[in-house]
Amino acid sequence: MRRREKEIQNREVIEELLRSAPVCRLGLAPGLDSQGHGGTTAGRPRADAPKASYPYVVPVHFVHAEGRIYIHSARAGKKISMLGENSRVCVEIDEFLGLKSADKACDYGTRFRSLIAFGRARIVEEAEDKLRALQLLMGKYAGRSFDFSQRSIQGVTVIEIRIEELTGKQDLGLS
């Protein structure tokens, strides 16, 4: 991190942001063929090949537990397709705390906290593990647990991201 004085070193602050943030942004990169071109699936160009070499960032609801981030998804779509090509992902989480005003435009700033995580994603296949992740998600957002039918569990995709690197940055405007 370039600005070491802004690094969040307190693990409790990081954990609180992981607990409280309502949304994270999931960054995905296309798989590359042997020439470094994106947009191939099993060696064939994807239908969206002209756009397929671009990264894709999508806001998602999430929950953090035991060094992993869980999100839910439809069973098919751009996220699932890209994860099939490349399991390496980036996750961004932030909290906007307000503006720092000043007399000069260049002295304005933002009070914030943010996290960047790098990791590997996988589709959770085991029904028991999917149910646990769904219960964690509902606990975070609804504050209670729910009963899920087998059909409901089978009808949704759960993505688990194993965090390999996690850094935090903050500017609380105290200086």
Pure H helices in the chain = 11-20, 78-85, 127-142, 150-154
Give the separation between CA 98 and CA 109, rounded to whole angstroms.
9
Over residues 67-88, the pLDDT tens digits come to 999 999 999 999 999 999 999 9
Give the separation between CA 93 and CA 12, rounded to whole angstroms.
15
Q: Identify the pLDDT of residue 108.
A: 86
Question: Any residues with CB less than 8 A from the CB of 67 and at least 6 apart, and which?
Answer: 162, 163
Residue 86: CATH number of its domain: 2.30.110.10
- E strand or H helix at 142: helix 127-142
Note down the domain range covering 118: 4-171
Average pLDDT over residues 139-147: 94
Q: Identify the pLDDT of residue 53.
A: 76
pLDDT band at 24 (very low <50, low <70, confident <90, very high): very high
Amino acid at position 106, single letter:
C
Over residues 150-169, the pLDDT tens digits come to 999 999 999 999 999 999 99
Q: Identify the pLDDT of residue 50.
A: 53
Say which DSSP state 103 is in.
S
Average pLDDT over residues 114-118: 97
List 169's β-bridge partners, or say none: 7, 114
Give the separation between CA 96 and CA 125, rounded to whole angstroms.
35
Amino acid at position 175, single letter:
S
Number of structural domains (the chain) is: 1
Q: Identify the pLDDT of residue 38.
A: 54
Q: Identify the pLDDT of residue 49.
A: 57
What is the overall mean pLDDT for the chain?
A: 88
